[in-house]
Structure 1
Amino acid sequence: MKDILLQDGITIRGVYERSDAKERTKEGMERVKGFIGEPFDPHIDIVENGVKYHIDVAEGQKTGFFLDQKYNRLAIQKLCKDAKVLDCFTYIGTFALNAGIAGAQSVLGVDASQFAVDLANENSKFNGLENTVKFECHDVFDFLPELEAQGELFDMVILDPPAFTKSRASIKNAIKGYREINMRGMKLVKDGGYLATCSCSHFMDYDTFTKTIGQAAKLVHKRLRQVEFRTQAADHPILWNGDENSYYLKFYIFQVVDEK
């Protein structure tokens, strides 16, 4: 493969296969993870939207980085200047760091994986943002009620959870999860502040996800003003003859206002 790409002037370090998703076993396929060909250093550095990242291809989730949110991360930058930001399910700090370079006053990123949090803090230092962008390891569902009890409020709350459902059979439980996390997130937004929320499960379709957010807002007595609706980046195309599988990412930005 290296030789084939080289014919087109593309030089690569090597290939690391990540065919290790649990879903493969349901279809009788082997889970595979490892180098194809000669081993190489799987730690790489990239730049996206002006933010620098250390990436671990071997141990990070999937490819080590989620490229499909590139322009959604860029969209939140314009709302983060001088803001106090909470980024939930931050993974290696992507949304949080975009908020940081946009001039946020303070950013707290939260993830349940200590591995991800350690790498996120490295990335904060890599960008010279360690004084304003910090990361902590918590279960988000447990941590948000703690922040609420402490009276914390944020100018922007970002919710980028993993897919809560990967099958139709579990969609009811997924709806409960998305409703709860959005309720918790909205309650932490200052009156007039912003909520960025998304779902990356294609089983949680547009109508269901939108309805669930509306239910969450009603239950916590918030009014939502839609600022933006976005999907995945163009390099993850939505195929109109296969939208059930290809149209998976739904991304909203709302202004959140208390019911008076």
Structure 2
Amino acid sequence: MKQARPYPKLIVTRKAARALKAGHPWVFEGEVIEAEPCANGSVVDVFEENGTWQGAGLLSQESKIRVRIVTRNANDRLDEAFWARRVAYAWEHRKVAMGGCALPGCEPDTNACRVVFSEADGMPGLIVDRYEHVLVSQVGTVGMELLRPIIYPLLLKVLQEDGQDVRCIYERNDSPSRVKEGLPQTKGWWDGQGAEVPDTPRIKVVENGLSFDLDIENSQKTGFFLDQKYNRRAVRQIAGGRRVLDCFCHVGPFGLNAAAGGADFVRCVDVSQTAIDLAAENARLNGLDDRMDFTCANVLEYLPELRKGRARLREEGGPFDLIVLDPPAFTKSRGTVKHAARGYREINYEAMRLLPRGGYLATCSCSHFMTRDLLAEAIADAAHQANVQLKQVEERQQAPDHPILWGVPETHYLDFFVFQVV
């Protein structure tokens, strides 16, 4: 590269360069040959051994992922204007992908959506979800930690200038990934630049025309699982007149969508009593509690109980003819995929044994290590073991506010199937 560059230089192996050329943005610790001295979290220029510039990225000195590339355009300077463009591009994508998708007579789908999805939006280590007037952020890298004073005001500015009623940011910086970056785990309201700070982290959110009371301080992730927005609609469409079992229900969004779709009865099950209490409150909030009931139980133990005891099944509101399986990620590493596959096979087997012929199963995985093909294989094995055949109704993925960046398989993590048991 002939032009002068303002950033420290980092030289990587040919293997790393090949991965970068293919579109993957990570440089691993063992791929660094030489690096000029610089502060942790700095912008660095990445060069191949032969001197070819591969891009500029953010340095993480304590992480195995040593550099995360943010641009491959040599004309870019990673200043405030650069990050303003990134935020604007991210918001524009949500408007295009979701702006016209709202259910008739309901709120815009952009009122509750993911605004920034880390690498997929060119801001590695940053997650930002919108819940009505509140943005909830998770920062997982030291580079983004240092950029918070720049990016947070830009998020508010870009959305407010577009006419969005967004007033404040709540930080859920308590994820385990921060430990790998040498960052402390914290949570609380960001009080920079005169942002309005509410008295409570409990907020009301409307999604798919349904109201949810969320605890963004203590609930999982940022408070809700927005990636299933349209998959919940798929369940709503087939729920009419059915008795529904919603497993791993969290705060009840699949169950509520089923009830709103005309289900005769919905049983929601989750191992967390806090989640069950919130799900019950959400049912009352939407006037659906007359057709819904709730059980705090470990689903892995609960499903076999129902299958083996007819009295227990009737007690819980069964028999059921639509079962939803939305488990947490059974694997978060490549080394535990085989064990996770057994878990997916087990819960799908138990669900299939409970369903009558003609019943429906909605099932998914939210781990990118459990690929679509591995999940399909586990489901097929379960069907063989249960001696049933599956007729596929629909195959879906995460909602488009969680965009999948080709060349970066980590951004594709949610696969969702709807089957009829025949």
Question: Could you say which TM-score interval applies, normalised by the shorter chain?
Answer: over 0.9
Partner of 1:122 in structure 2? Answer: 281
Partner of 1:25 in structure 2? Answer: 179
Correspondent of 1:233 among 392, 399, 417 = 399
Correspondent of 2:249 among 77, 86, 90 = 90
**What is the alpha-carbon distance in structure 1 between the residues aligned to residue 396 and residue 330 of structure 2?**
19
Whether 2:414 is the aligned partner of 1:249: answer yes
Whether 2:223 is the aligned partner of 1:67: answer no
> What does residue range 171-210 of structure 1 map to in structure 2 within 5 Å?
171-210=337-376
**What is the alpha-carbon distance in structure 2 between the residues aligned to residue 234 and residue 145 of structure 1?**
35
Flag the 1:98–1:17 CA change in 2: closer, same or farther, 3 A: same
Q: Deviations over 1:206-256 (max 9, x none)?
A: 1111101000110111110000000011111111121x1111110000001
Flag the 1:3–1:167 CA change in 2: closer, same or farther, 3 A: closer
**What is the alpha-carbon distance in structure 2 between the residues aligned to residue 162 and residue 129 of structure 1?**
25
Flag the 1:166–1:29 CA change in 2: closer, same or farther, 3 A: farther
Deviates more, 1:56-65 or 1:191-200: 56-65
Which stretches of structure 1, 4 residues or longer, exceed 3 Å deviation after superposition? 5-11, 26-29
**What is the alpha-carbon distance in structure 2 between the residues aligned to residue 33 and residue 158 of structure 1?**
32
* Deviation, structure 1 residue 27: 4.3
Unaligned runs of 5+ in 2: 1-152, 314-318
Q: Answer with 1 or 2: which has the greater Rg.
A: 2
**What is the alpha-carbon distance in structure 2 between the residues aligned to residue 165 and residue 30 of structure 1?**
25
Secondary structure, counterpart of 1:121 in structure 2: helix
* Deviation, structure 1 residue 3: 6.1
What is the number of residues matched between the two proteins?
256
**What is the alpha-carbon distance in structure 2 between the residues aligned to residue 195 and residue 27 of structure 1?**
40
> What does residue range 41-52 of structure 1 map to in structure 2 within 5 Å?
41-52=200-211
- More relative contact order, 1 or 2 (CA 8 Å, 6+ apart): 1
Secondary structure, counterpart of 1:154 in structure 2: coil
Secondary structure, counterpart of 2:321 in structure 1: strand
**What is the alpha-carbon distance in structure 1 between the residues aligned to residue 167 and residue 221 of structure 2?**
18
**What is the alpha-carbon distance in structure 1 between the residues aligned to residue 307 and residue 366 of structure 2?**
26
| Counterpart residue identity of residue 14, structure 1 | C
Partner of 2:381 in structure 1? Answer: 215
> What TM-score do the two structures reach when normalised by structure 2?
0.59
Partner of 2:217 in structure 1? Answer: 58
Whether 2:220 is the aligned partner of 1:34: answer no
Secondary structure, counterpart of 1:131 in structure 2: helix
Give the alignment's Cα RMSD to 1 decimal.
Answer: 1.5
| Counterpart residue identity of residue 245, structure 1 | E
Contact 2:156 2:168 in 1 (8 A): no
Secondary structure, counterpart of 1:191 in structure 2: coil
Flag the 1:80–1:3 CA change in 2: closer, same or farther, 3 A: closer
> What TM-score do the two structures reach when normalised by structure 1?
0.94
Q: Deviations over 1:59-103 (max 9, x none)?
A: 111111111101100011121111000000000000000000111
Partner of 1:113 in structure 2? Answer: 272
Give aligned-pair identity as a percent: 50
Flag the 1:254–1:18 CA change in 2: closer, same or farther, 3 A: same
**What is the alpha-carbon distance in structure 2 between the residues aligned to residue 10 and residue 224 of structure 1?**
44
Unaligned runs of 5+ in 1: none
Flag the 1:105–1:30 CA change in 2: closer, same or farther, 3 A: same
Partner of 2:170 in structure 1? Answer: 16
Q: Deviations over 1:165-214 (max 9, x none)?
A: 11111111111111111111111111110000000000000111110100
